[in-house]
Amino acid sequence: MRLGPDLDQQELAGAFRSFCDKECSAQHIRDAWDGDRGWSTERWKRLAEIGVLGVRVPEAYGGMGLSDFEMALIAEEAGRMALPEPLVDTAAVGAGLLDDLDRLVGWPPAPGWLERVASGDAVVAVGTLDSSVASPGILVHAAGEADLVLLAAPDAIWALDPADCVTEVRRGLDGTRRFARVDLGSSRALPVVSGEQVRSISVAVTDRGATATAAMLVGLGAGMLDMAVSYAGQRRQFGRQIGSFQAVKHQLADVAVRVEFARPAVWRAAASGASGDATASRDASVAKALASQAALLASRTALQVHGAVGYTSECDLHLWAKRAWSLASAWGDVTFHRRRVLASLVPDPAPPLQGQAQPMDTFRADRGALL
């Protein structure tokens, strides 16, 4: 039993942290807000160059051949600096699903797409559907900027050209996140694969999305905690640093506790996903519930500690806070995942939890719990 990164893994995360420190400042994020797509195609190329986009692409296809676990370490660092690029969508969920389609289904285009992901030549967006019955269209993050849109239902998976299926793009409160309406009906595409074999692949999509997003939320929480601690150490009122007031100390200590106790759960979920453990779905939900809760508490507390300064968009804090709010409901919010955990624990799913083991409709079922 080992739970935690080894030295190599720590080094990998540390190297990526240095990259983010240099290449993803708050000003970079503001530039991304102002841009057409919410993130930088140049930095995307750089992410490919340092290998991050191919972390979980097999070496044979130009990737690093690592697992969801290393991906989670990377995602935490990305969260800490609020990296705007669709890393989770493409490098974690997209690459993971393409890898499954290659290994388990033998879908011919998969290797090509995996190569393009690793080289930074393709953005992949992934959405999930409750059922394969065509819906009036669901909103999928980053699908508007993607080269490939994958949709996973319990009994079918589609690979779509965004040009055929995206009907509109909406902006979110976080300026780096754009949501495209994907209309399966209008694309008239046939599924890549369908039938009972699809279920476990689709469940893994949700689990991977939840876990990688949870990792990013832990990083966002840690980042906001750092900002608040730093501000509380500088700002003076009543002749003292406000961080010397017990009320401020205790609020920040509570944030530290929630963030620290979310991290091992993310590690566990990522490792369970990587090794296909029987508890992988429950572990992912545990991680996402804890990480969302931690990041929401961090955002709420950091805003309060910053006072009016934090209420301005001149202060960088809101760039992190809005990302946290968005990600807290992405890939299932706190309520969704708590429900899923409970459903996994009762032998015969009790009535209040029926139907909860299904992958969710990416958007409508994404319920958020802000503080």
Residues 85-124 that bind another protein (CB under 8 A): none
Q: How far is CA 120 from CA 42, 219, 369, in A?
A: 10, 23, 34
Shorter beta-carbon distance to a copy of itself: residue 171 or 250: 250
Binding flag, residue 6, another protein (CB under 8 A) = yes
Binding flag, residue 35, another protein (CB under 8 A) = no
**What are the tokens at 108?**
């011919």
Instruction: Write the DSSP assignment of 205-259 as a string of letters.
Output: HHHHHHHHHHHHHHHHHHHHHHHHHHHHHH-EETTEEGGGSHHHHHHHHHHHHHH
Binding flag, residue 131, another protein (CB under 8 A) = no
Q: Contact region for another protein (CB under 8 A) — 52-60, 126-134, 204-212, 305-313?
A: 305-313
Using the rule CB under 8 A, which residue among 22, 45, 103, 364 binds another protein? 364
Using the rule CB under 8 A, which residue among 28, 30, 199, 367 binds another protein? 367
Number of amino acids touching another protein (CB under 8 A): 91
Residues 221-280 that bind another protein (CB under 8 A): 225, 229, 232-233, 236-238, 240-250, 252-254, 256-257, 260-265, 267-268, 271-272, 274-275, 277
Q: Which residues of 259-297 are buried (b: 16+ CB within 10 A; e: fewer)?
A: beebbebbbbbbbbbbeeeeebbbbbbbbbbbbbbbbbb
Residue 5 near which of another protein, a copy of itself, none (CB within 5-8 Å, type-dependent)? another protein
**Interacting residues with a copy of itself (CB under 8 A):** 245-247, 250
Residue 157 near which of a copy of itself, another protein, none (CB within 5-8 Å, type-dependent)? none
Residue 78 near which of another protein, a copy of itself, none (CB within 5-8 Å, type-dependent)? none
Binding flag, residue 174, another protein (CB under 8 A) = yes
Q: How far is CA 68 from CA 31, 32, 45, 204, in A?
A: 30, 27, 21, 11
As a whole number of angstroms, the distance between CA 74 and CA 68 comes to: 10
Shorter beta-carbon distance to another protein: residue 41 or 275: 275
Binding flag, residue 210, another protein (CB under 8 A) = no
**What are the tokens at 181?**
């309406």
Strands 124-128 and 148-153: parallel
| Residues β-bridged to residue 128 | 152
Shorter beta-carbon distance to another protein: residue 50 or 253: 253
